[in-house]
Structure 1
Amino acid sequence: MSYDDLMTLRPGVSFNEQGEAQVLVWAPKAESVQLQFAEDAKILDLEPQDYGFWILQTRALWPGDRYGFLLDGKGPYPDPATLYQPEGVHGLSGVFDLRKFNWTDQSWKNLALKEYIIYELHTGTFTPEGTFAAMEEKLDHMVGLGVNAIEIMPVSQFAGDRNWGYDGVFPYSVQNSYGGPVAAPEALQRLVNACHEKGIAVILDMVYNHLGPEGNILGNFGHYFTNKYHTPWGDAINFDDAWSDAVRHYFVQNALMWFRDFHIDGLRLDAVHAIKDLGPVHILQQIKQEVDELSHKTGRAHYLIVEMDLNDTRFVKPVEAGGYGMDAQWIDEFHHALRVSSGQERSGYYADFNGVASLAKSFRDAYVYDGIYSEHRKRKFGMKAEGIPGHQFIVFSQNHDHIGNRMLGERTSRLVSFEMQKLLAGAVFLSPFIPLLFMGEEWAEPNPFQYFVSHTDEELAEAVRKGRKREFAAFHLEGEAPDPVAVSTFENSKLQWELIHRPPHQTMLQYYRKWIALRKTLPLFRECDRNGLSVEVFQEKELIYIQRVWGRQHLAGFLNFSKSAQQVPLPSEHLSWHKMIASSDLVWGGQQEMPDHADAGALTVAPESVVVYSNIINS
C-alpha cells in the first residue's frame, strides 16, 4: 500500500462492509509486529508497509475480542489507537465496531456558531452515577434551561476512574468507567444521538498538546515525541521533527473520527499554545483543512474551538488569510477582568487587570492585552482583534480551570454575594460573544470543583499529592490543599441536583433561564455584532454602560459592580425605554424593583446589579 493511501486510513482496528477487520499500526521502531489475542494467545503477524506502518487484514478479529501488540516479541501492549480499554490503561484493548450503532439523527443540523449557548460539564461529577447514560437523563434540564450545546471535558482513557480528563493516554478511546451498562464508545454514541434528538450540539474537549503520565505507551511504537521542545509535561508531541508525518496523521485522523463516527459537532482543543509546530503547515491548519473536506462530503458543519494563552488572531483567522482557521477561541481575559471587577483578589496574573476598565476593554476589543505592556509578563503582549467577529470568542464567568485551579476549588457562589453572581452572569450574556456556563453555575451550586486524580501508580500518585501541596504552600493559613488522590475530593465535587428545587438556588435557575431566553429570541442579543457596540466606563462608580444596536433595535445595559446605588443617564434619542431584565428585581431575589418603563434621563441602578433597557416592547 502506498504512503499516500496509508495516510487516508484510520489507525487501529476498523471493519469493512464484509465484516473483515483491518488493523493499522505505526511502529517504525520495531523489526516485527504481531497481534496477540487475549483469549487463546493466538498470534497473527502484521505486514510491514512504507514509513514504518504495519497492516493486517483478517476475519479472525471480532467486536468484543481483547488484543494487544507484540513488538519484537515484547508486550503485549495496548493499541495506540484503541477505541476501548475495558480494563483501564494497563489492560489489553477491546475491539469495537464504530459502524454498528443505529444513528437516528439524520435530520440534525448543527447550529450556527453564533447561536451556541455552551454548557461545560465533567462526566464523572455531573451526576451521582458519573456515566454518559446518567447524563442523558439530565438532557431535559438542559432543554428547560435553554442551552443548545454541551461541552464535555476530555473522555480519552486515563488511569483509574477519577480524573479531570487531561491525563488521557489513548486519544482514540472512550473512558471505560463512563460507559455504565454498555461499552463506553457505544454509550457516548448514544449520548450524542440523544442530544441531537433534543436539539443540543455536542462539543468534545480534546488534548493534542501532551499525553498523560500513566499508561503512555506510544513511545514504544514510534517517534511520537521529540526533545526538540520543552513542555510542562516533558518532551513535546512530535509535529515537526523527523518522522512527524505519521504523528500528524494520527492526530488528524483522530479529529476526523470524532466528527465522522461519533457525530460530534465541535472539538475544543486544550491549550494549543503548548503545541509546538514550526513546520510550513501548522498541525491546526492541517486539521482544519481535513475537517472542511469531511464537511464538504457529509454536508455537516463541524467546529474547531481552541483554548490558548496567546492573544494571537493567527489562530482564528481563515486559512486563506494566513491563519490556522480555528472557528473560535476561549477568552480568559474577559473572565480575569470580570473576576477583578467583582472585588476578588488580584494575585498572580490577575494583577494585570484593572477592574471595570479592563472589562470594558474586553467587551469592546475581546483581548485586554492587544499589544500593550503587561506588568505580569514584563513585556508587551498580544495583538488587536480587529475584524474578528464576536462569534469567534467564547466568554464565561467561571469554568473548570478557574474553579479547580484554586486551592480549595471554590465556585463563584462561595466567593461573592448572590447579587454579584447575578451580575456576573448578566455580563456574560450581555457580551457580543458566545456565552459559556460551567455545570451547576445556573443554580449557584455551592459544592467545589476540586482537582482529582486516581493514578494506580503509587509513586506517581504521591508525586501529584506533594506537587499540589507545594503549589499552594503560600496559602497554608487557609488550610491544607485537598488530597487529589482521595475519593472524597472527587465525591465532594459532584453536583447537588436536589438544590434546584430549593431557594435561593431555584431563583438563580429561573434567572439564568430568563437570560438565555432573551439571548436566543432577540436578534439584538443573539447577534454577536461588535460593530453595533459601544462601551463607556465610569471607573469611580465601578460601572459600565453598554449600548448595542441592531437595525432599529437599541439596548442600554448598566453593570454596577459597586456596593452603592449609582445614578446613570438613559440616552435621549429614544423617548421610551422598556425593561428587559434587572437582577435587583424582587422576582430574582433582589431588593430594588426597577421600573418597567423609563424615559430619557436619570436612572438609579442598584448595588451589585445589572439592568437592561431597550426600545423594544418586552412581550
Structure 2
Amino acid sequence: MGATPLEAGSRVSFKVWAPHCTRMSLIIEPFANPRRVEMNCDDDMIFTTILEGVPLGCRYMYLIKGIHRRPDPVSRWQPDGVHGPSAIVDPSAYMWGDAGWYGLTMKELIIYELHVGTFTQEGTFMAVIPLLSYLHEELGVTAIELMPVAEFPGRRGWGYDGVSLYAPHSGYGGPNGLKALVDACHRNGMAVVLDVVYNHLGPEGNYLRDFGPYFTDRYKTPWGEAINYDGQGSIGVRRYIIDNALYWITEYHIDAFRLDAIHGIFDESPVHILQELNNAVQAQAKRLGRTVLIIAESDLNDARAATAVGEGGYGLAGQWNEDFHHAVHARLTGERNGYYMDFGALDDVAHALSHGFVYEGQYSMFRGRPHGASARHIPGESFVVFAQNHDQVGNRPKGERLVTLIPFEAVKLAAALVLWSPYVPLLFMGEEYGEPAPFQYFTSFFDKTLAEAVRQGRMEGFARVAWTGEVPDPQDPATFERSRLNLELRTEPVHRQLLDFYRELIRLRKIHTCLGIVERKRQIVSTLAGNGTLCLHRTLPQREESFVVFHFGGESRKTIIPIPWGPWITVLDSAAKEWGGPGGYMSSGEALESSGMLELAASPYQVLGLLRDPAVSAEQPDKSAERIA
C-alpha cells in the first residue's frame, strides 16, 4: 500500500484501501496547479494508479468524494505534519551499513528506554547517534527502546497520539534520520526496540475513518476509539496493522517491538490479532535471517501474552512486569495511593523475584476484584522489569523521578534489584546518573478544544487516585523543556558515582551468569522477618553461586543472615565510598568464610553481593542440586 517507486526514475505506484469511498482522486502538488488523477478501484476496494514523472519528495494527497483532501494512511513521510500532504520516499535509497547484524535474543537485552525529543537538546534521531558509545561502551546497555515515533500533532508529544503509523516523526528527522539511528545502533552492537501503539490512534489528524472501518464502538479504550480487529471489514484493518510491523522490520531494520497496552486491544476472532501479528513477524524475520522480538505491555497480569501458542497463549517473546515495579516502588517510597495500595510489603518484592507476577488471582483492593493469573511457567527472560519508565515517572502529576523521592542509597538498591533480577532489565533515560529533571506529560495539539479536554482529563484522573497539587499544563512549552535531560550532569561527582555503580552492576551481570537471568528454580528468595532484609541465593550447575543481600531499612542495624557454608568473595557493596556510600562492609575482592551465618552491620539500603570463591569451589564437588533441593 501507499506510494511506491517502481524503478529508477520517476514511475510511482499509488495504492490505498478505502471501502468507505465510492471514488477517489490522487492530487499531486509539485506544481502551481496541482495535478489530479482519478484512481481505479478493484473488487477489494483498493484504489490504484501508476504515474510517470513523479519525483521523490513530491507531495500528494487523496481527494475523497471530490471534497476532502487527506494524507495517505500508509504515508512514509509527513514533512508538514499530520494535516499536511504525504511525501514520496524511495525505501531502497538508503545505503545500509549493518550487514552481518542479526539481532539479539531476550537473554541478551539490557534495555535503555528514551524519548527522542527530550533525550538531547536537539531532540532528533541524529542527535542520539553520538551518545551510542556512551550507552553501549561506557554504561553497558545492549538495546535502546524508542518511545513511539509515528507522526503525531505538533513537535512536542510522547508519541502515543500518533496517527500516521508508517511515518517517522518529521520533527525528529523523518525516515532518513530514523534509518541512520538504527544503522548506527547496529554498527555499535546495539538492538533497537520500537514502541508501537496498536490499541488506538490519536484524536487529531486521524483520518482513517474516512477511508475504511478502522474503528469500532463495540469496545471502549481510555484513549479513544478501539481499533476494529474483529468486526465487519476488519480483514483490511488487521492487514494495515500487520503490514505496519513488517514495514518497520523490513525497511527500518527494527529488532523488536514493545506493544503498548495490549489490554486495549480487543479481538474475539478465532486467531487473536496478537498471535497473527507474531506469526507474520516471525515468518518475515526468518526470510530476513534475523531475530525479531515482540514484547507486550499489559496491566492485566495476563500470562497469555508470553505463553506458547500450543499452551493457549499468543507466543510473544516477552511482556512487561508492572508488578515488579509497583512492589519495589511502594516499598521504597511508602506511597500507597492508586494502584500502590495493593503493594508495600517486602514479601511482594520477594514474590516478584520468585514468581513473576505478585497478583496471581488474589483480591486487589485497588480494582475491587481478583486480579491476575499465575505466570510461573513463563521463563525469566520473557519478563521485562524496571524501577522507572516513561509511564511510572511521567504519569505522576509532576513527573518526579525516583532520585527525588527516595534517599540516594535507596536509588542504588532499586538499581541492583532490577539489574540483578532474573529478568530482562530496562532503564529509563537519565536514571543511570540520577537525572533530577522531571519527565512530565507534554503535548502540542493544534485543536484547542482537544487540548483543554486533555488538561481536564488528567486533573480528574489524578483526583480519582487521591493525588493532589498543581498539574503542569501539557500544552505549555515549559512542561516539555523541564523534561529535557541534562546529560552533562553525568560527569559531576555524585552523578558520576551513581553512573559508575550502574555500570558495575551491568558489568558484573554480564560476566557472572548467576547475577542475571537464571531459571527461577535455581534461586531461593528469602526475607528476614522484622528487619527489612531480602536475600537472593542462586546456584548454577557450572558451580557458579551468588548470594546477594538487600537491606530495605532506612536505618543501620545489625543483622544475622543465614548463608551457605564456605568461602565467598565480595564483588560489590553499595555502601562503599567509591559509590558515594557511607563506607562499605567489605572491600571488593575481599574473601569471607561462612560457617552458616553472616553477621552484617547493615547500613541504610545496603546491597551486598557475594560470589562463591571460584578457586575453592573448583576443588569442591558440585552440590548445586543438593542446595537447591
Q: TM-score range by the shorter chain?
A: over 0.9
- Of the candidates 591, 605, 612, which is equivalent to residue 597 of structure 1? 591
Amino acid at match of 2:313: G
> 1:557 maps to which residue?
548
How big is the shift at 1:566? 4.2
Corresponding residue SS for 1:401: helix
How big is the shift at 1:218? 0.3
Corresponding residue SS for 1:464: helix
How big is the shift at 1:16? 3.1
How big is the shift at 1:572? 5.5
Say whether 1:271 aligns with 2:261: yes
> 2:499 maps to which residue?
509
Contact 1:434–1:528 under 8 Å retained in 2:
no
Hey, what's the Cα distance between the residues in 2 that align with 1:283 and 1:28? 21
> 2:572 maps to which residue?
581
Corresponding residue SS for 1:173: strand
> 1:176 maps to which residue?
170
- Of the candidates 137, 149, 152, which is equivalent to residue 158 of structure 1? 152
Hey, what's the Cα distance between the residues in 1 that align with 2:408 and 2:471? 26
Contact 1:126–1:135 under 8 Å retained in 2:
yes
Corresponding residue SS for 1:394: strand
How big is the shift at 1:15? 2.6
Q: How high is the TM-score relative to the length of structure 1?
A: 0.95
Contact 1:556–1:570 under 8 Å retained in 2:
no
> 1:24 maps to which residue?
15
1:225-240 correspondence to structure 2 within 5 Å? 225-240=215-230
Hey, what's the Cα distance between the residues in 2 that align with 1:149 and 1:419? 27
Using the TM superposition, name which of 584-593 and 158-167 deviates more: 584-593
- Of the candidates 315, 329, 339, which is equivalent to residue 325 of structure 1? 315
Say whether 1:391 aligns with 2:381: yes
Say whether 1:291 aligns with 2:288: no
Say whether 1:36 aligns with 2:27: yes
How big is the shift at 1:292? 1.2
> 1:77 maps to which residue?
70
* Shift in alpha-carbon separation, 1:74–1:603, aligned structure 2, 3 A: farther
Contact 1:89–1:215 under 8 Å retained in 2:
yes
Amino acid at match of 2:72: D
How big is the shift at 1:235? 2.6
Contact 1:288–1:304 under 8 Å retained in 2:
yes
Amino acid at match of 1:170: S
- Of the candidates 128, 147, 150, which is equivalent to residue 141 of structure 2? 147
How big is the shift at 1:519? 1.1
Hey, what's the Cα distance between the residues in 2 that align with 1:473 and 1:574? 53
Q: Which runs of 5+ in 2 are unaligned?
A: 616-629
Matched-pair identity in %: 42
Corresponding residue SS for 1:420: helix
> 1:518 maps to which residue?
508
Amino acid at match of 1:343: T
How big is the shift at 1:478? 5.8
Amino acid at match of 2:612: N
How big is the shift at 1:476? 10
- Of the candidates 596, 606, 610, which is equivalent to residue 607 of structure 2? 610
Hey, what's the Cα distance between the residues in 2 that align with 1:594 and 1:358? 27
Hey, what's the Cα distance between the residues in 1 that align with 2:55 and 2:539? 60
1:25-174 correspondence to structure 2 within 5 Å? 25-40=16-31, 41-143=34-136, 144-174=138-168
Hey, what's the Cα distance between the residues in 1 that align with 2:370 and 2:609? 36
* Shift in alpha-carbon separation, 1:135–1:228, aligned structure 2, 3 A: same
Say whether 1:188 aligns with 2:178: yes
Aligned residues: 604
How big is the shift at 1:228? 1.2
1:289-438 correspondence to structure 2 within 5 Å? 289-438=279-428
* Shift in alpha-carbon separation, 1:59–1:569, aligned structure 2, 3 A: farther
Corresponding residue SS for 1:462: helix
How big is the shift at 1:463? 1.9
How big is the shift at 1:421? 0.3
Hey, what's the Cα distance between the residues in 2 that align with 1:76 and 1:362? 52
How big is the shift at 1:231? 1.6
Amino acid at match of 1:24: K
Corresponding residue SS for 1:34: strand
Hey, what's the Cα distance between the residues in 2 that align with 1:111 and 1:535? 29
- Of the candidates 509, 514, 520, which is equivalent to residue 530 of structure 1? 520
How big is the shift at 1:516? 0.7
Instruction: Write the deviation string for residues 365-401 of structure 1: whole angstroms up to 9, x where unpaired.
Output: 1000112222222222211112211000000000000
Corresponding residue SS for 1:257: helix
Using the TM superposition, name which of 348-357 and 251-260 deviates more: 348-357
> 1:546 maps to which residue?
536
Contact 1:553–1:616 under 8 Å retained in 2:
no
Instruction: Write the deviation string for residues 496-517 of structure 1: whole angstroms up to 9, x where unpaired.
Output: 1111111210100100000110
Using the TM superposition, name which of 198-207 and 222-231 deviates more: 222-231
Hey, what's the Cα distance between the residues in 2 that align with 1:364 and 1:17? 56
Instruction: Write the deviation string for residues 553-609 of structure 1: whole angstroms up to 9, x where unpaired.
Output: 111111111123344455564411101111111110111312222221223132212
Hey, what's the Cα distance between the residues in 1 that align with 2:17 and 2:580? 60
Contact 2:437–2:482 under 8 Å retained in 1:
yes
Hey, what's the Cα distance between the residues in 2 that align with 1:381 and 1:317? 18
Corresponding residue SS for 1:424: helix
Hey, what's the Cα distance between the residues in 2 that align with 1:572 and 1:164? 46
Corresponding residue SS for 1:137: helix
> 1:7 maps to which residue?
none
Hey, what's the Cα distance between the residues in 2 that align with 1:392 and 1:87? 40
* Shift in alpha-carbon separation, 1:332–1:474, aligned structure 2, 3 A: closer
Hey, what's the Cα distance between the residues in 2 that align with 1:300 and 1:98? 19
> 1:8 maps to which residue?
none
Amino acid at match of 2:481: E
> 1:259 maps to which residue?
249
How big is the shift at 1:99? 1.0
Amino acid at match of 1:249: R
Instruction: Write the deviation string for residues 209-230 of structure 1: whole angstroms up to 9, x where unpaired.
Output: 0000110000011110011112
Corresponding residue SS for 2:150: coil
- Of the candidates 465, 480, 484, which is equivalent to residue 455 of structure 2? 465
* Shift in alpha-carbon separation, 1:439–1:253, aligned structure 2, 3 A: same
Contact 1:560–1:566 under 8 Å retained in 2:
no
Hey, what's the Cα distance between the residues in 2 that align with 1:168 and 1:325? 27
Contact 1:574–1:615 under 8 Å retained in 2:
no
Hey, what's the Cα distance between the residues in 2 that align with 1:245 and 1:474? 38
Hey, what's the Cα distance between the residues in 1 that align with 2:467 and 2:72? 47
Hey, what's the Cα distance between the residues in 2 that align with 1:485 and 1:444? 26
Corresponding residue SS for 2:484: coil
Q: How high is the TM-score relative to the length of structure 2?
A: 0.93
Instruction: Write the deviation string for residues 98-143 of structure 1: whole angstroms up to 9, x where unpaired.
Output: 1111001011121221110000000000000000011111111112
Amino acid at match of 1:352: D
Contact 2:25–2:63 under 8 Å retained in 1:
yes
Contact 2:337–2:466 under 8 Å retained in 1:
no
Instruction: Write the deviation string for residues 31-82 of structure 1: whole angstroms up to 9, x where unpaired.
Output: 1111101123101222112222112223333320000001121222100111
Runs of 4+ in 1 over 6 A off after TM superposition: 474-477
**RMSD (CA atoms):** 1.6
How big is the shift at 1:539? 4.0
Hey, what's the Cα distance between the residues in 1 that align with 2:425 and 2:354? 15
Amino acid at match of 2:58: D
Hey, what's the Cα distance between the residues in 1 that align with 2:164 and 2:502? 37
How big is the shift at 1:475? 9.4
Contact 2:305–2:316 under 8 Å retained in 1:
yes
